[in-house]
Structure 1
Amino acid sequence: MDLELQRVGREQLDEVRHTLLGVYAEVYAHRMEDPFFSIERFDERLTGHASRNSWEAVIGYVNAEPVGYAYGAALQPGARWWMHQLDPLPENYTEETGARTLALFEIMTREQWRGTGVAHRIHEELLAGRAEERVTLLVDPRKVDVKAMYERWGYASVGEQKPFPDSPLYATMVRQLRTPTSA
């Protein structure tokens, strides 16, 4: 398999939006009846995520066809990310500087490419270009196999959160990328 990886920043969102939405629509086709998972709501979240200066995406292609992607951005001071934890974390853990934590907002792979290593390669490429100390993501804890995959990739669960009133309950996971610098 010849996987081509394309890194894009927020300046290129208009060029790749259709690709991101198309992969999302395929991956979440079975959940479209739930308003939280509709294309419109995802597009709103994508627009909000990509409004951050540090937003980047890595898109994987095989034979010019998109097979998956991951995108994220650094959490800024005062970020709402940690506010929805069911059991609050210590303040020193949730304090953000704009360079401490990468929020991995989305990672998805089209069904025929799952289990091939594509998701891991896309994920690692996104992280390779980042300077943050750690990365965090949310995963549906009922998807035991997906959560176990993230654990194999070095993530650990730090609790659960419900980021939107109509969203599912998610496990919050964190992976250390480099040793924190002291102030």
Structure 2
Amino acid sequence: ADLLITIIRFLPLDVVENDILPEALIDGGLAQPVPFRIWCCRVLGAVSLRLDPKKIEKLFFKRAMTLCQDTDYEVRRCMCLQLPSLAKSLGSLPSRHELLEEFRELLMDDEDTVREAALSNFVLMLQRSDIESRTKILIPLFRRLCEERAEKLYPLLAKEVGTFLWETRGQLSDADLVFFLGF
């Protein structure tokens, strides 16, 4: 399984589109067992780096967003780990806003492991976001997480805050700067 994920980037594009992706999408159905849906998430993350944004939207973007809302926390966690690849590939398409909304939901998930996965990808998502998304979605979201001071997330927040400040240095308000420097 890991080998196939690794070699997706080297396979001919027609093999990826016609053989691997359709099978993975079948495995990603809600009626499928959890390991199959997790497999689908991993394939979607790897395939997204190979396809142009329009093909991603056409072939599997909606499925990826559905997997972010899966009933099983392991599936949500795995799809969350694939979102930076998907964000990178989507560029500035309108669907990117929907992806950020799903990311926000994952950061607020009831399961700690999902929230931890989302937080560990926060800086990657930040780096792949435009200024408007940073100021309207991601900066307020990071501040909210810091204000919550959730015990399990606190070490991850502390680890990410320096990089977060660096990446958002041009978009932070004075009030945000004071808050984060006090964190």
What is the TM-score of this pair, normalised by structure 2? 0.32
Structure with bigger helix share is 2
Higher relative contact order (CA 8 A, sep 6+): 1
Q: Which of structures 1 and 2 has the bigger CA Rg?
A: 2
